[in-house]
Amino acid sequence: MSLLWLRVAVLLYGIAALAVLPAALYDRPRWRHIAIPTTVAAVLFHFVSLAETLNAAHHLLPVESHETLSLLAILLVAVFLAVYARYRTVALGIFVLPIAFLLTLVPAFRRGQETILPNNSGWIFLHIALLLAAYAALFLSLVASLLYLIQERRIKSKQPALRFLPMRETPLELLDQIALKTLLFGLPCMTAGLLIGSALAEQIYGPAFFADPKILLAFAMWFAYCTMIFIRRHSGLRGRRAVYLSSFVFLVVLTVWAANQFSSVHRFTTP
């Protein structure tokens, strides 16, 4: 039964990891009411699973690697919930919940057990589609930031505004909104794509999947994406600095994409 409770916790961590994004980044309180109760439920199932596992192994502290990963995940989530209870902020959950999902994924679904996701071909398609949508959103954000920079220079030099922009809003405000909203659209796509890809690759390759440097680079890309959105939203970053930041993250994305072309983890086979 401990394995069943852990798998339920993994599912709930995945749901909470997606729900916390609009709650933290888009200021949507309703999503917070989904993310926090789901996280609490995940911790409860996770704790029961860990307690049963340790009791069955007849020791109080984790010894095996999967027990250590499980304990680390539950401690991270406990810290997140403590921070939320004290400061009423879910920002930490953007990073903690996906990490908890990945840490519990390996103990819950070891290679050789039944599959995590049925009908792999459909999930692979969804994984690819979500990541491509995230890449497209990042590219559009970079283009909007470049146009912002061009428009800003035209205004300072008193040249006519770019003609294709509507006049009901100032061109700079419109371009800045496009750059930010495309990023906000891309982050849930990238998060869901990486979570689905992690589940598929762990199912096919086992825990060795997490040792692939290209996979670690992919999660570094996700971290850079989150950091860029956080900086843009909380510092009002615009103009040249926004272009530089978007260009850096886009370069990281291109690097990850190129590296994945040589990665054995991305040679999925369909039934």
Q: What single-letter amino acid sits at 181? A: K
Q: What single-letter amino acid sits at 271? A: P
Q: Please list the alpha-helical segments (H only) found in 157-238.
A: 171-205, 213-235
The pLDDT assigned to 223 comes to: 81
| 3 φ/ψ angles, rounded to the nearest 5 degrees | -70, -35
Residues, the chain, total?
Answer: 271
d(CA 101, CA 109): 12
Find tokens 């908890």 and name the residue.
Answer: 100
The pLDDT assigned to 146 comes to: 78
d(CA 70, CA 74): 6
- Ranges in the chain, pLDDT < 50: 111-116, 164-170, 268-271
Provide the whole-model pTM.
0.62
Find tokens 């902020």 and name the residue.
Answer: 89
The pLDDT assigned to 166 comes to: 44
**Dihedral sign for Cα atoms in the order 238, 175, 141, 189:** positive
d(CA 48, CA 206): 24
Burial of 237 (0-12, 13-18, 19+ CB in 10 A): buried
Residue 252 is encoded by which pair of tokens? 């990281």
Contact 190, 130 (CB under 8 A): yes
d(CA 134, CA 185): 8
The pLDDT assigned to 264 comes to: 55
The pLDDT assigned to 116 comes to: 47
